[in-house]
Structure 1
Amino acid sequence: MSDKLVRAIASNGDIRIIAAITTELVNEGVKIHECAPTAAAALGRMLTAGTLMGAMLKSEKDSLTIQMSGGGEAKGVVVTAYPDASVKGYIGNPKVDLPANSKGKLDVGGAIGINGKVTVIKDMGLREPYVGQIPIYSGEVGDDLAYYFTVSEQTPSAVGLGVLVDTDLSIKAAGGFIIQMMPGANELAADLVTYRLQDMKSVTDYIVQGMSIEEILQFIFEDMDLKILDNMTPKYQCDCTRDKVERIFMSIGEKDLTEIYNENKTEELKCHFCNTRYEFTNEQIGEILKKSESDD
């Protein structure tokens, strides 16, 4: 089942839905960062959440970053997402692997920890980005983001996220949904959705059975006037370039650049999100230094 994100409404527009299968996308991210199983589940849930929340942005120039850092062995997870359903991310410790939790599932909450915050940063091209922050509630990602929507954005939401890691450490299935009640929504519809979500299996169970994202939504919203509005292909995509990395390098300041240059060093910078390495020879550092002096 190839990756797909859909936007939909139900119950005469009272309910807004964003849902996706993200198996290939998560596979790509987990492979880049060489994640152990628990790390793969943590990063995969965050990448899926980022894809869904990025698709909720209004303008194509907007971007959104989610950070979760709870003091656990994962050492924090960061994802940045865009309105075209592309996303990139990294986990502080890709080797974290914990014993299964009490439900026999990968212990994402234990890896992330609960002594910290969920931070959502929306860059909408204004002078200051919007920053929403809540204490971590469970570390399991889905519950935390549902809590974030309810508290920070005053929008009651259900967030379901799943990542199934195979025995060869590849991703067997990944996907999720965000279901939101619109202001003034019919309370009976909200109760019905809550009841059905409590009754359903994990989203990855349905993906493994071969159900499409549309079929999963039909199952949840049967007889609730589900309308699929549009769809996109989610993808793991890093937008780093040598120019961007050079600008970051320049930002360390003339004094430090001069020191590196005078010591006849070469420098290598690595992108956190895709692990691409950029090498700067001593000669290139000299050029950057000239550029930085002429910019002054």
Structure 2
Amino acid sequence: MANTDYLVRGTAAEGQIRAFACSTRNTAEEQRRIHNTSPIATAAMGRLMSAALMMGVELKGEKDLITLSIKGDGPMKSLVATADSHGNVKGVCGNPYVILPAREDGHLNVGGAVGKGFLSVIRDNGLGEPYVGQTALISGEIAEDINAYYSISEQIPSSVGLGVLMNKENTVAESGGFIIQLLPFAEESLLDKLEEKLSKVHSVTDLLAKYSPEELLEYLLGDFGLEIHEKRELRYHCNCSRERVEKALISLGKKEIESLLSDHKSQEVRCDFCNKKYIFLENDLEELLNR
């Protein structure tokens, strides 16, 4: 197994199919390490980050971001993963410590932890109002929910497979997945052939344990004349900085900063995505107030 997380992007059937596959074990493990997530939360975050990274490849601008946000009525509450077009992703979970009994088939009950709610897909090019698409959750298992988003919001027939396999020590053994899509001009007969092939996929984690991203696409699309066009490294990366935190504090407004100053104590601000701490002394806060 490669030590580096990466994704591949390809086409098949003379460009009628586009496809992505990724391996994100280190990325999912880094998220688990930072947030000390339970196995269910680790699996949910690993799936969501894999999807965000594959969707992020399609972003056009240097500073474009895609955010997948899930809000459910289950004990996990919320999940957020933000990716850019360079293979960076970060994520955070509303309740990282959620524990539920396994499903009847022995799998982690991610759907039960997420519950009913909504998936929002936010595309932000930094130039104004971001584009937001929202769909109701189908199962809370994440892959089916992203599939539904594609078919309802973007009218793109897709097959999304995501998986995270945990070790006995509750570290991440495998993480990743695939997205396969038919483009608008694809022949109808292709859909039936593709559906037949994909119906044989019963466990994404089994495929991840067995195949690299290239081999996974070859297994799924080898009969359709697969061509790989790009390979990209992936990583968990948070771009927070003191400057960004200062801007966020200033945006809270004068009253909020005055209220922080009234404590006559230094204030600690922690980044949700990487847990990095930023300390603001009283004179730092006074300076922000003057700004």
Normalising by structure 2, report the TM-score.
0.96
Q: For structure 1, list consecutive stretches of 5 or more residues without a partner in the other structure.
A: 292-296
1:284 equivalent to 2:257? Answer: no
For residue 269 of structure 1, what is the amino acid of its counterpart? V
Counterparts of residues 15-54 of structure 1 (less than 5 Å): 15-54=17-56
Runs of 4+ in 1 over 4 A off after TM superposition: none
CA distance in 2, matches of 1:17, 1:8: 5
Displacement after TM superposition at 1:50 (Å): 0.9
SS of aligned partner of 1:13: coil
Displacement after TM superposition at 1:214 (Å): 0.7
Partner of 1:155: 156
Partner of 1:196: 197
Displacement after TM superposition at 1:256 (Å): 2.4
Alpha carbons 2:162, 2:176 under 8 Å: kept:
yes
Aligned with residue 79 of structure 1, among 61, 78, 81: 81
CA distance in 2, matches of 1:199, 1:229: 26
CA distance in 2, matches of 1:184, 1:256: 54
Partner of 2:72: 70
For residue 247 of structure 2, what is the amino acid of its counterpart? R
Displacement after TM superposition at 1:202 (Å): 2.2
SS of aligned partner of 1:77: strand
Displacement after TM superposition at 1:207 (Å): 2.7
SS of aligned partner of 2:273: coil
Between 1:252-261 and 1:74-83, the stretch displaced more is 252-261
Displacement after TM superposition at 1:139 (Å): 0.3
Count, aligned residues: 289
SS of aligned partner of 2:98: coil
Counterparts of residues 3-18 of structure 1 (less than 5 Å): 3-18=5-20
Alpha carbons 2:8, 2:228 under 8 Å: kept:
yes
Percent identical across equivalent pairs? 42
CA distance in 2, matches of 1:213, 1:202: 15
SS of aligned partner of 1:16: strand
For residue 164 of structure 1, what is the amino acid of its counterpart? L
CA distance in 2, matches of 1:256, 1:162: 42
Displacement after TM superposition at 1:60 (Å): 2.0
CA distance in 2, matches of 1:271, 1:194: 43
Partner of 2:188: 187
CA distance in 1, matches of 2:140, 2:226: 31
Partner of 1:136: 137
Displacement after TM superposition at 1:189 (Å): 2.0
Residue by residue over 1:149-170, the C-alpha shift from the partner in whole angstroms, topping out at 9 and shown as x without a partner, is: 0110111111100000111111
Q: For structure 2, list consecutive stretches of 5 or more residues without a partner in the other structure.
A: none
Alpha carbons 2:21, 2:216 under 8 Å: kept:
no
Displacement after TM superposition at 1:246 (Å): 1.1
Partner of 1:95: 97
Residue by residue over 1:63-104, the C-alpha shift from the partner in whole angstroms, topping out at 9 and shown as x without a partner, is: 111111111111110111111121101001110111111322
Residue by residue over 1:192-221, the C-alpha shift from the partner in whole angstroms, topping out at 9 and shown as x without a partner, is: 221111112423213323x21111111111
1:212 equivalent to 2:215? Answer: no
SS of aligned partner of 2:199: helix
SS of aligned partner of 2:111: helix
SS of aligned partner of 1:279: strand
SS of aligned partner of 2:222: coil
**Superposition RMSD in Å:** 1.2
SS of aligned partner of 1:199: coil
Normalising by structure 1, report the TM-score.
0.94
Partner of 1:245: 245
CA distance in 2, matches of 1:223, 1:42: 32
For residue 257 of structure 1, what is the amino acid of its counterpart? I
Alpha carbons 2:52, 2:82 under 8 Å: kept:
yes
Displacement after TM superposition at 1:250 (Å): 1.5
Alpha carbons 2:69, 2:80 under 8 Å: kept:
yes
Between 1:31-40 and 1:95-104, the stretch displaced more is 95-104
For residue 143 of structure 2, what is the amino acid of its counterpart? G
Displacement after TM superposition at 1:238 (Å): 0.4
Partner of 1:294: none
